[in-house]
Chain A
Amino acid sequence: MVFSADALSSALLDNDWTGFLLKQGVPFLSPEFILILTLLLIIVLSLFSVGKTENKPENAINSPVVSLLASNSWNLAMGGTVLALLTVIAHYFLFFFNHFDVGYSVLYGMFKADLLSVASRTFLLVGFIIVLLMSKRYVATFMAKQASEFFAILLTAFTGAMFLCGSIDFVSAFVSLETLGISSYLLVGYLRNNQQSTEASLKYLVYGGASSALFLFGLALLYGLMGGSTSLETLPLALNSGVKELSAWLPIALVLVMAGVGFKISAAPFHMWTPDVYEGAPTPVTAFLSVVSKLAAFVFAIRFLLPFAGHVGSVTILVSLLALLSMLVGNTIALKQTNIKRLLAYSTIAHAGYLLLGLTVLQYHSLATVLFYLFTYVFMNLGAFACVLVTSDLLKTETIADMAGLGKAKPMLVAMFSIFLLGLAGMPITAGFFAKLFLFQALVTENPITLGMVLLALVASTVSIYYYLNVIRTMVVAEPSDAVKALMGQTESNAGCALMAGGGTSSLCGSTSMRWAMILSLAGTLLLGVLATPIMTVCDVAMYELIQAGKQLEPESAQPPANVGGVTTSASSTNP
């Protein structure tokens, strides 16, 4: 182990700054630092530019300065994200070459730099890159004046999500969750002149506030139950020491914490905000919420629930309840949706159900399949939202019925949209199928109860095929709607471009960044499944190491705590 405790303390004694930074885990947080620097830079740059634009008349949205500003802040955000992605990728080498198994506690035990956080942050960053690609032209079109502000907030929200992936302390978890949450409320209401957007923002704020309060209350209860510790790593100790005294209050605390997490992952019965917010928010923001927010919250859920494995025996009951409710609510209500964004909202709820199913068995492989599912979901769902973005921009409507006959006008767009929807439906060859196969297979062999749940999930996902296919059928089979006819008229008048054929009044569908967003999502949707082995291996190793790390912390563990290196500093200091 390269970063052993001895080496670090000696580094500090020598007044060695590099060593000090190492001890604080700065290298492990380099992606987050890069992101924070980027967002600060964007804010500062926008300050300078505002002075220039203020002299311009109000309606100067098309002025070169404003659009230059917009594209600059986008470029900065993109550059920062790509750089962060590169640094995260560099972290893999630490794990593979240094046998850096159980991870490393950073920021005095607030953040855990282990393979789980590295892997999940990789896919968060890739997902965020797609979101940025989606939002480039959108922002330039609809909110050119506030572009830098938008990207700064988006980056803030994203940084919160990044921190959440590694949070192993209640304090850091709550802070990163709120960083993500509060920025999201702002982002949802970013179309200031749009009533729906503003309303959605308010709803999201009120609902989010309420569930944050519940979450915090749950954490506070746990803090008390755990004998005054806020670290997740002491949870196993607390559980082992006093199960009986805990048993009365623990369920309440668990439910409250899961309410907060359930809100973020939009699991029923904490889902009610989802359709309204998805519908009202600017589509790139919806995509962000449905993927980035969800992935980070799920990683936290895994970290939070894992200590309960083998204890109380009851986390399973709670999680199963949430999973079943989510599958039921998501898949049935989705059947009668007429708005494509609301449909995808209910689809998100249903997917939360499948994913929660994987959390009922707290074993490394089933958790790894959940992680893999999340990674594939990033691409499929972002792709679907990218298509929604282009479609609604072309047709000026989000109603499914108005998309009728789109296949005749834009065959390539419809083909891509179909692939993403089929991926979400779990059709073979797409990554969605493999994700479901791995997840269900991991559960089916576990015990009769999970077998039953998998059967229910299969039935639910068969129902889901109906509403996904209904969208495809509308686009392919039906006679063109008025909106599509109008579009076809435009396309004839001015020659379209190659891939998804722009033309007309649409600025989005012809744009290069939009195209790249779709191509990236498509590549992920098609390749992640058939080439699953390396990523699945990473997920397996990450989860295995996570569980190993947890086991080493338990008191009855044969190994003395001193062997664990950096991790023990936080664990031993808070021994109850």
Chain B
Amino acid sequence: MDWFIQTLWLVPIYPLVAFLLISLGRALPKPLAYDASEGHGHTDASEALPLLAKKEVAFALTSGATLMGLVHAIASIGWLFNQHNGVVAIEKNWQWLQAGDLVLKLGTLLDANTVMMLFVVTFISLFIQIYTHGYMNHDKGYAKFFGYLALFNFSMLGLVLSSNLIQTYMFWELVGVSSYLLIGFWFHKPAAAAASMKAFLVNRVGDFGFLLGILLLLGITFTSGFWHDYLSINPDQALLSFQGFMPMVGALAKGIPAWLLGLIGILVFMGSMAKSAQVPLHTWLPDAMEGPTPISALIHAATMVAAGVYLIARVFPLVAASTDITMPFITIIGVITAIVGATIAVTQTDIKKALAYSTMSQLGFMVTAMGLGAYTAGLFHLFTHAFFKAMLFLGSGSVIHACEGEQDMRKMGGLLKKLPVTGITYLIGTVAISGLFWTSGFWSKDEILAAAAHQHPVIYILLSATAGLTSFYMFRTFFMTFMGTYRGEAHVHKEDPVMTAPLAVLAVPSLLIGVLLSGFAFGLPAFGHYITHGLMSELSHHPHSLLDAMFNKVGNASQMVGLTGLVLAFAVYGMKLINTDTVKRVLAWPYELFRNKWFFDDVYQGLVEGGFMLIAQMSSTFDKVVIDGVVNGVGCITSGTGGLIRRLQTGRIQTYVTVLGLSVLALVVTYQVLMVKG
């Protein structure tokens, strides 16, 4: 038991080894191995491959690595439950790079956050890999896919275990890289290649802010000598270690103006905005659904996109220190994202796109919670959401698989009979995400709502309405897909047990994990018991008892809102009492707005093309008009005659040399002037 805790650094190493072995297997020359195995007389083509290149081996390596990670995760849960008197974090670091004073360390930090995220990532990964075995079985790139999956697991687990912000940034980018590789897995499809590039570009914007924030933080705390002093007391910790954030922020708050502290918080949060698809950096997530569905479930629903929220949790002292700049900013972004995501989801006809916008909306809930200071609630929702959203995506994958690649819900319907396990688990997921009937989503979402109600009524009302909308659009997808009559042409296949088994497994936590960790069941501790006993206990703005009172009031109200959404969806899509075309006609203006995704993509298109091209055009014009003008002017003055004709006849080199002379002159003058001043 203790061994698994002590060797936590192995957790990312397992998938890394798996990735390397699979890559090695793919690089092995195949014909040679084929010759070698010919003597055995096997006729199966895959038998002729070298051992490492075989599908089964790729699968065994990747899922074995994940299973080992899960064992560590379970051991760490045991460790957490044994910490009765407040959790003591365990940090271990190894020196990696040194450049002057800048000493970068790689390390692992084990606290309640880590345990939670470690369990989520390994547990969901494992079942998604089993599912993938069925889903990708006939794909040519099976081994490559599992290789990328292992690479993703390596980066994600490295990110989860990171002991300091710089290491986090490294793995943050690695997670990004594996995500792009997997979105663009079918890169022969133009849409998939474009989507992966878009994800890359949008994440650049966020990571630019993130890196700038890190550099500012590093610059300020370095010059003030804070880290020098801190690390001399805690030599085992690393630069920008998460454990040192509380004292660091304390020192910062005294030393720098509030706006700068707020700015740093917002810059770091920009990283989260891009990764967790927050408005206005959300546009990549729906497009990312071009990747294979297991990837959508694992990376773009359960784990990687939640990393943004996890990052906020990690740097929480930093954002929480700026109560009137960073925290409101985060809250507003979160609320807007929740609303924008939910409203767009209502208009989507592609089942995966609808789920993607739903993910975005739910991430908005989590971010709002963080912004409100309801640290525990945000992480709790991250935790429950990971299970049911992964299950919903896998369910959609099962449907798409059965319908021969069809993703349009208008060409589905009545699939419950043909895909009973998928249908029932999808229903469970729908109920859970709608927060109905004390399923897991109920507990986590209502904690967020309770925090909102406690903080600000407007935010509460907006979030509640969004929750109702969530229920509506999720039941809409359910009714359109599984109820009524089948509207498509494709022949519907039967379910594959390899794919339905993970669905059934994930249904259990989707139903129960909320109540189990609510603090009301079987004497089990509440989720927040450990999380708030961690590093952040002083900062969590809401004492648990206060929230409990609020929770009872909010809980009933949100059930009602959720049920309203359910009834409306049933009326429109189940009973067909209301014609959708009429609704579209009546609500033409909002409908167009939502269907066009609030025109974000169009605006960006214009901005990027306009903005960058404007800069380029300006500098080019400057080059042509000013430089050439000056040069020709000089030419005119010196030669006196025929300036214009000369201009046409001279090659560029005369220009160049004139500019050389003029720039030297200008530099000398500028330099003299500046020196006199300085």
Contact = CB atoms under 8 A, between A and B. Distances in A.
A466 B674 CA distance: 34
A2 interface: no
B671 A255 contact: yes
Contact of A203 (B197, B223, B620, B652): B652
Contacts of B623: 333
B190 interface: yes
A205 to B, nearest CB: 9
Interface string B651-678: 0110111011101101110111011001
A195 interface: no
Contact of B204 (A455, A458, A465): A465
A407 B193 contact: yes
B259 interface: no
Interface stretch (B207-215, B532-540, B551-559, B595-603): B207-215
A310 interface: no
Nearest to A273: B656
A383 B453 CA distance: 57
A251 B652 CA distance: 29
A505 B41 CA distance: 40
A576 B485 CA distance: 101
A336 B613 contact: yes
A312 B676 CA distance: 11
A312 B678 CA distance: 10
Interface in B58-106: 96-102
Contacts of A369: 99-100
Interface residues of B, number: 61
Contacts of B174: 428-429
A116 interface: no
Interface string B204-226: 11001001100110110011000
B437 interface: no
Contacts of A256: 664
Contacts of B194: 477
B184 interface: yes
A202 interface: yes
Contacts of A255: 664, 667-668, 671
A479 B174 CA distance: 28
Contacts of B101: 365
Nearest to B660: A210
Given A407-B193, A428-B173, A537 B663 contact: no
Contacts of B201: 469, 473
Interface stretch (A28-36, A74-82, A439-447): A439-447
Given A321-B667, A532-B97, A532-B99, A455 B212 contact: yes
Contacts of B438: none
Contacts, number: 174
B100 A442 contact: yes
B215 A438 contact: no
A442 B96 CA distance: 18
B99 A203 contact: no
A454 to B, nearest CB: 7
Interface in B150-185: 169-170, 173-174, 177, 184
Nearest to B29: A498
Contacts of A333: 616, 619-620, 623
B6 interface: no
Contacts of A214: 660, 664
Interface in A107-134: none
B656 A207 contact: yes
Interface in A195-224: 202-203, 206-207, 210-211, 214
Contacts of B661: 210
B197 A476 contact: yes
Interface string B181-204: 000100110100110110011001
Interface string A153-189: 0000000000000000000000000000000000000
Contact of A372 (B99, B193, B216): B99
B218 A272 contact: no
Contacts of B37: none
B137 interface: no
Contact of A438 (B102, B187, B200, B678): B102
Contact of A536 (B98, B656, B659, B670): B98
Contacts of B615: 332, 335, 463
B604 interface: no
A251 B675 contact: yes
Given A314-B671, A317-B678, A445-B223, A206 B215 contact: no
Contacts of A206: 653, 656-657
A259 interface: yes
A368 B668 CA distance: 28
A408 interface: yes
A536 B211 contact: no
A335 B174 CA distance: 27
Contacts of B211: 458
Interface string B590-625: 000000000000000000000011011111100100
Contacts of B190: 477, 479
B169 to A, nearest CB: 7
B210 to A, nearest CB: 11
A533 interface: yes
Given A332-B619, A333-B619, A444 B219 contact: yes
Nearest to B95: A533
A266 B182 CA distance: 40
Given A332-B615, A429-B173, A445-B222, A533 B97 contact: yes
B238 to A, nearest CB: 15
A299 B145 CA distance: 46
Contact of A317 (B200, B617, B618, B674): B674
A335 B653 contact: no
A463 B660 CA distance: 27
Contacts of A321: 667, 670-671
A383 to B, nearest CB: 18
Contacts of A466: 612
Nearest to B194: A477
A317 B670 CA distance: 9
Contact of A272 (B620, B660, B666, B674): B660
List the 8 closest pairs (A to B, CB-CB), nearest first. A444-B219, A269-B663, A336-B616, A335-B616, A428-B173, A365-B100, A332-B619, A272-B656
30 contacts: A206-B653, A210-B660, A259-B663, A259-B664, A259-B667, A272-B655, A272-B659, A312-B675, A313-B678, A314-B671, A317-B671, A317-B675, A329-B619, A332-B618, A333-B619, A336-B613, A365-B100, A369-B99, A372-B99, A407-B193, A441-B99, A441-B219, A444-B216, A444-B218, A445-B218, A445-B219, A472-B197, A476-B196, A477-B194, A536-B100
Interface of A: 202-203, 206-207, 210-211, 214, 247, 251-252, 254-256, 258-259, 263, 269-270, 272-273, 276, 312-314, 317-318, 321, 328-329, 332-333, 335-336, 365, 368-369, 372, 407-408, 427-429, 434, 438, 440-442, 444-445, 451, 454-455, 458, 462-463, 465-466, 469, 472-473, 476-477, 479, 530, 532-533, 536-537, 540
Interface of B: 96-102, 169-170, 173-174, 177, 184, 187-188, 190, 193-194, 196-197, 200-201, 204-205, 208, 211-212, 215-216, 218-219, 222-223, 612-613, 615-620, 623, 652-653, 655-657, 659-661, 663-664, 666-668, 670-672, 674-675, 678
Given A259-B664, A434-B99, 15 more contacts: A206-B657, A210-B661, A251-B675, A272-B655, A314-B671, A328-B619, A333-B616, A335-B612, A336-B616, A407-B187, A438-B100, A442-B100, A444-B219, A458-B211, A536-B98
